[in-house]
Amino acid sequence: MQVKAHILIRFLLRHTYHILVLNSNNNSISLHNKEKNLSFQFNSLLGEIAIERGFVFTTIRIKLFDERVIKFKWVSWKCAKRFSSEFHYLFESWLKDKLTKVDTIVNLVNKDIQKLIEQQRYIKQSEVDSFVQKFELKMKQLDLLPEYIKIYRKEVYEFFEEKMIYDLIDKSNQAWIKKVSNHWDNWFQANHNISLNSSQLKSILVDDDINFVLAGAGSGKTTVLVGKLLYLLENKSYLEDEILCLTFGKDAAKEIQDRLKKRGFAKCKVQTFHSYALSIVNEVENNNRTLTEFISNQTQKRLWLQSKIYKLLENTHIFVKWKRYHSDFKIFGLCKFEKPQDIKSNTTLEYIWSRIMEIHNSDLSKKDIINKTLNNEKVHKEVLLFWPLYKQYLLYLKESAKLDFHTTIVDATKYIKKNKFQNIPKLLMVDEFQDISQIRLNLLMSILNTRKPISLFAVGDDWQSIFNFAGSRVSLMTNFQNLFPRTKLTRLNKTYRYNQFISTVSSKFITKNKNQLKKVTQSNDMNNSKSIFFTKNDNLENILIKLNNSYDKNIQNILFLGRTKKDKPHIISLLKDNLKNLKIKFMTCHESKGQEADYVFITNVDQGKFPLERNLATLNDYLNSESSEVNDEMEERRLFYVAITRAKKKVWVSYQTNPSKFYLELKKISDLKH
């Protein structure tokens, strides 16, 4: 059917559209004149038509979904009414046919969803994605805009387009967890002698594509990680060789391996990031490359560095530059500097080595590093000074075909991205995620971005992120849900290590840091009696003697903690053999991560010592946006929190001459709590 504008209009306004056609064969309307035409499919129309009667002529208005309006003027009232009636009939017939097909598609998809729910298992978001994608593909094939669904099938639109399907599956998953929790709780106890609380069991049973367990100190994260593996293997979700568990240290890897071996699962791959990366490099290169001896042999490293420095300073011009720098800023640990051979102390060599490693680990060009350090003359000149030594180190790695920790992970990541390494796991597990660095995250992302579907299970505690100096970035932990937007988060908030008093006081202390993940910690031991004490270093001997005398043949573990190795109290060596009921050990706070003891003594908590006040700016401060004066203190606070939470029974915090702000702050919290 078509309507035409009045003949006079067609003659006078030749360039105006003067014919409106309703095409029943292809469900469209079109506008025409002698030179061109313009067509609109029903799929782009809102379905509303209005006719406005004028004094002589009538105007037809048809609304589009994009809010535009098709106006066709200068027709008779009779023709306009007939066109409107015919349009309504054709459009409604077309829409009815489309909606009938939509209903058929929805019914089929809903049946598939119901079948999935009836399988009585945890349903992953990626599985739900497939249903949404299937529906969207069908709608695309149907050539029907989502706006039609929104208007005429609102509940369908909300279910698929507004993702209410995910809410339905989430409720189904929660109901399933509640239903099977008792069965799996009994299974763990009967088969593996593992007792789990409700939050631990939930963290195991939640089995989505991206899983993140926020675990407080002493909350049993390793138990949950091992439990997760046992559950998935028992459930036949994965084969042993389809799982990869990555840790940051050999001890953690060994502990997880030992627990799995005891339960008959020796094939699960549990490795440190570095050992896994090295295996990738050697497999791709069909080689047997090894790590540089400098990692384990400090003497060899220093001798090599010393020889390169002496060789470099044979150049008179370079030697003068070094002397000028030392005159202005002092090379750390170096008293006099009159000849190259004066650079020989381990302190100075380690300082220079640390700067070389900061340049190396930055992965930046010389130009970029120089630009980033322009506002600090000392650090800027250090980069220029030590750059030739860095180039010598790169040459050494190349000529010896050796790797270091950094190059191993970088090379492995490169090979995975280029699809040169094919043995990709189906499940990737990461322990202590708070220790993640950018290059380790790049390795993880390269694995997750391969074409295979891969799930991630990570556990960590941002309150215990203490290795910023080694490259870890707490922001990668606190931004986990931004890095992985569809994360399923569970929390382990109950600690089994210490009592409620230590839990409350340590939590109040650590939560003074900003930008942390929220968590509430509660102890399994509700004892609220005072368990943190404050004293001077001079009193420690008497405290130890009293502790020793209060136990009879019941050995108690004593852990002395210091900010640095220099904080080891001399009384340990003096009393160690005389206190038969005490097993005394000293560690730095960093070394104590993952350890525990009956009683903990944190010594030398003096002003300038803990929190440690750094006098030397480092290159890392300028390359890492997280390193600032404020964030240094935040890192120190996390370290102090780690020290406190090593204790199972009691903590003593002591100072030598001038108590630090941490000492006074913790004492105030403790006194108020008591």
223 and 229 in contact (C-beta within 8 Å)? no
Task: Look at the block and give the residue holding tokens 């299970």.
Answer: 457
Q: How far apart are CA 314 and CA 260, in angstroms?
A: 57
Q: Determine the pLDDT at residue 348.
A: 92
Q: Determine the pLDDT at residue 674.
A: 60
294 and 304 in contact (C-beta within 8 Å)? yes
Q: How far apart are CA 621 and CA 379, in angstroms?
A: 10
DSSP 122: P
- The band of 629, judged by pLDDT with boundaries at 50, 70 and 90, is very low
Average pLDDT over residues 459-475: 92
Q: What are 193-226's pLDDT values in tens digits?
A: 999 999 999 999 999 999 999 999 999 999 999 9
Q: CATH code for 2-91?
A: 2.30.29.210
Q: How far apart are CA 514 and CA 636, in angstroms?
A: 13
Q: Determine the pLDDT at residue 511.
A: 95
Taking 80 as the threshold, does the pLDDT of residue 73 lie above it? yes
Q: What are 19-34's pLDDT values in tens digits?
A: 999 999 999 999 998 8
Q: Determine the pLDDT at residue 504.
A: 95
Task: Look at the block and give the residue holding tokens 């993940």.
Answer: 517
Taking 80 as the threshold, does the pLDDT of residue 13 lie above it? no
Q: Which CATH number fits domain 500-671: 3.40.718.10, 3.90.950.20, 3.40.50.300, 3.60.10.10?
A: 3.40.50.300
Query: To 10 degrees, the CA torsion angle through 651, 656, 660, 664?
Result: 50
Alpha helices in 273-365 (DSSP H): 273-285, 298-312, 316-329, 346-362
Cα 577 to the center of its chain, rounded Å? 46
433 and 405 in contact (C-beta within 8 Å)? no
Q: What are 328-387's pLDDT values in tens digits?
A: 888 888 888 888 888 999 999 999 999 999 899 888 899 988 888 888 888 888 899 999
Q: Do domains 172-289+407-495 and 500-671 have the same CATH topology?
A: yes
Taking 60 as the threshold, does the pLDDT of residue 459 lie above it? yes
- The band of 628, judged by pLDDT with boundaries at 50, 70 and 90, is very low
Mean of the per-residue pLDDT values of the chain: 91
Q: How far apart are CA 137 and CA 50, in angstroms?
A: 34
227 and 250 in contact (C-beta within 8 Å)? no
Q: How far apart are CA 647 and CA 560, in angstroms?
A: 10
Q: How far apart are CA 340 and CA 25, in angstroms?
A: 93
Q: Determine the pLDDT at residue 12.
A: 67
Q: How far apart are CA 392 and CA 399, in angstroms?
A: 10
The b-or-e profile of 568-590 (16+ CB within 10 A means b, else e) is bbebbeebeeebeebebebbbbb
Name the token pair of 231: 């559950």
Q: Determine the pLDDT at residue 615.
A: 62
State the pTM of this model.
0.87
Taking 50 as the threshold, does the pLDDT of residue 627 lie above it? no
Give how far Cα 656 sits from Cα of 215, 610, 611, Å: 34, 12, 14
Q: What are 365-378's pLDDT values in tens digits?
A: 999 888 888 888 88
Please count the helices (runs of H) and the strands (runs of E) in the chain.
25, 20
Q: Determine the pLDDT at residue 221.
A: 93
Q: How far apart are CA 152 and CA 162, in angstroms?
A: 15
Taking 60 as the threshold, does the pLDDT of residue 97 lie above it? yes
Q: Determine the pLDDT at residue 561.
A: 98
Taking 80 as the threshold, does the pLDDT of residue 618 lie above it? no
Beta strands 488-492 and 243-247 are: unpaired
Q: Determine the pLDDT at residue 194.
A: 95
Q: DSSP characters for 166-201?
A: HHHHHHHHHHHHHHHHHHHHHHHHHHH-----HHHH
- The structural domains of the chain, with segments of one domain joined by +, span 2-91, 94-171, 172-289+407-495, 293-400, 500-671
HEC assignment per residue over 453-503: CCEEEEEECHHHCCCHHHCECHHHHHCHHHHCCCCEEEEECEEEEEEHHHH
DSSP 608: T
Cis (ω within 30 of 0) for the bond into 611?
Answer: yes
- The band of 231, judged by pLDDT with boundaries at 50, 70 and 90, is very high
556 and 581 in contact (C-beta within 8 Å)? yes
Among 22, 144, 4, smallest CA distance to 89 is for: 22
Q: How far apart are CA 172 and CA 179, in angstroms?
A: 10
218 annotated as a binding-site residue: yes
pLDDT cut 70: percent of the chain above it: 97
Beta strands 58-64 and 69-75 are: antiparallel
Q: How far apart are CA 520 and CA 503, in angstroms?
A: 10
**Residue 256: CB partners within 8 Å, gap ≥ 6?**
222, 225, 226, 245, 247, 270, 431
Q: What are 154-199's pLDDT values in tens digits?
A: 888 888 877 889 999 999 999 999 999 999 999 999 999 999 999 9
219 annotated as a binding-site residue: yes
609 and 660 in contact (C-beta within 8 Å)? yes
Domain 172-289+407-495 falls in which CATH fold? Rossmann fold (3.40.50)
Taking 50 as the threshold, does the pLDDT of residue 400 lie above it? yes
